[in-house]
Amino acid sequence: MAETWATSPSGQALGIDLHIEPTGSGLRRGLTDALRDAVRGGRLAPGTRLPASRTLAADLGIARNTVADAYADLVAEGWLTARQGSGTRVAERPVEAPRPVTAPGRRTPGTLLHDLHPGTPDLASFPRAAWLKAARRALTEAPNDALGYGDPRGRPELRTALAHYLARARGVHAHPDRIVVCAGFAQGLMLLGEVLRRRGLSDIAVESYGLDAHWDILARAGLRTRPLPLDERGTDTAALEPRPGGAVLLTPAHQFPLGVPLHPDRRAAAVDWARRTGGLILEDDYDGEFRYDRQPVGALQGLDPDRVAYLGTASKSLAPGLRLGWLVLPAALTDEVAAAKGDSDWSCGVLDQLTLAEFLRSGAYDRHLRGARLRYRRRRDHLVAALAEQAPAVRATGIAAGLHAVLRLPPGTEQSVVRAAAWQRLRVAGLSSFRHEDTAHPAPAPDALVVGYGTPPDHAWAGALDALCRVLP
């Protein structure tokens, strides 16, 4: 813990205990969290001017860039404001507390002009009329029993519809009995983490880039996350540990955030590992429906349904607010995961489950996805064209898929671009913020931005793209 000083609006010195560990990795995140907590908890009042990054860095005995980065993160999130000439201050109307701050695509407050943070689809294109139509039909036809305490795996209508859809669209080998409907990917991962921990697992391999929100979920379940090596062919699943009964979390169809599919050799290596060691692959298929250049690569689960737990979600294809996701599980895990779901909240709400079942069955989901694919593909093309014209030093990498692109930047420029974006009130993520802190990278980490082109509504997209191009080198 370190103590430092900020100047309050009245000019009186104010002591703040920042509760950060001044050593070790994760320092930037630790400082960001500590400052955010101080604002949220009221210890740093609105309008308070923060010390210059140089001063705070000296007080804490850390690098100035770490402080500057933490300030930039908090400006982007809306906790702080930064204006030339008036320094960095606590925002006058701070974000409504409390909220988890690591949610993918969490909306930032009113001071933000543009949001290109990845993780959220275009909420303005949620198919409201079609959804309501499906809701009417589903609720009209539902048996009374459907409204009672139900099967923790979820409504059979939805599990049946998902089994058909996932087989057809993603090559998933899905029997309704092995599906557990859950409150989004996050809860599905939590349930699997808890079950694996109870079975004696103590750590789980993960990709070296991903979402710390997911690693946190695993950590809360008692699992230590260990990043796999990353090389020019992507995540090296051949490096999975050979001891029996391990587990690995992968995004095979479209690595998040790097934007590439798992290399075919590495897919095979993962499945071989799981068969050889009795291991389990957790397949995060968050945006498998969105591929723009050709048929998406099928789910890994189809290769070995007994060794892969498939996790899908409506959060990217429809809306995160639905809180609906699904697990397709090996037979040996289904009962335990279903029991964990029952212990957590009995089941998901049945009305949205029945509506999604009707939405899938009626073809409305396919229609919605066709429209969404077209919209996102146009945005991606637009982004690539704008880069070629306005920022030739920047290159979009990864496959034409999903709701985000990775923009490779000239070496050493990522942090300054993210800071410049924050000054423009443009929310965009640096690739380094997705890096697992235990990553042993063979080469200097690439400088890049992760741009979520799904996030803005149509009317705001062009403006967001302009703002982005203005801050690119």
Point out which residues bind its own copies (CB under 8 A). 96-100, 103-107, 119-120, 123-124, 126, 128, 131-132, 135-136, 139-140, 144-153, 182-184, 186-187, 190, 217, 220, 319-324, 334-335, 338-339, 342-352, 457
Question: Distance between CA atoms of 135 and 345, rounded to whole angstroms?
Answer: 22
Question: Distance between CA atoms of 424 and 404, rounded to whole angstroms?
Answer: 20
Nearest CB to its own copies, comparing residues 16 and 351: 351
Give the HSE-up count for residue 229: Cα atoms under 13 Å, Cβ half-sphere. Answer: 12
Nearest CB to its own copies, comparing residues 155 and 266: 155
Choose among 57, 83, 309, 305: nearest CA to 182. 309
Could you tell me the smallest distance in angstroms from the CB atom of residue 303 to its own copies?
26
Nearest CB to its own copies, comparing residues 299 and 324: 324
Q: Are 173 and 163 in contact (CB under 8 A)?
A: no
> CA-CA distances (angstroms) from residue 461 to 215, 392, 397?
31, 20, 20
Question: Distance between CA atoms of 308 and 303, rounded to whole angstroms?
Answer: 8
Cα distance from N-terminal residue to C-terminal residue, the chain: 38
Neighbours of 192 (CB within 10 A): 29
Could you tell me the smallest distance in angstroms from the CB atom of residue 446 to its own copies?
27
Could you tell me the smallest distance in angstroms from the CB atom of residue 191 to its own copies?
10
Helix (H) or strand (E) holding 358: helix 350-361
**Helix pair 184-198, 331-345: axis angle to 10 deg:** 110
Nearest CB to its own copies, comparing residues 34 and 297: 34
Torsion, Cα of 467, 382, 235, 188 (10° steps): 80
Could you tell me the smallest distance in angstroms from the CB atom of residue 315 to its own copies?
8
Question: Distance between CA atoms of 386 and 374, rounded to whole angstroms?
Answer: 18
Could you tell me the smallest distance in angstroms from the CB atom of residue 161 to its own copies?
17
Q: Are 184 and 313 in contact (CB under 8 A)?
A: yes
DSSP string, 74-133: HHHHTSEEEETTTEEEE-SSPPPSP--S--TTPPP-TT--EE--TT---GGG--HHHHHH
DSSP string, 26-61: -HHHHHHHHHHHHHHTTSS-TTPBPPPHHHHHHHHT
Could you tell me the smallest distance in angstroms from the CB atom of residue 248 to its own copies?
23
Could you tell me the smallest distance in angstroms from the CB atom of residue 318 to its own copies?
8
Could you tell me the smallest distance in angstroms from the CB atom of residue 273 to its own copies?
29
Q: Are strands 224-227 and 234-235 parallel, antiparallel or unpaired?
A: unpaired
Nearest CB to its own copies, comparing residues 123 and 260: 123
Could you tell me the smallest distance in angstroms from the CB atom of residue 68 to its own copies?
27
Could you tell me the smallest distance in angstroms from the CB atom of residue 132 to its own copies?
6
Neighbours of 235 (CB within 10 A): 29
Question: Distance between CA atoms of 420 and 414, rounded to whole angstroms?
Answer: 10
Choose among 295, 333, 317: nearest CA to 168. 295
Q: Is the dihedral of CA 352, 212, 103, 472 positive or negative?
A: negative
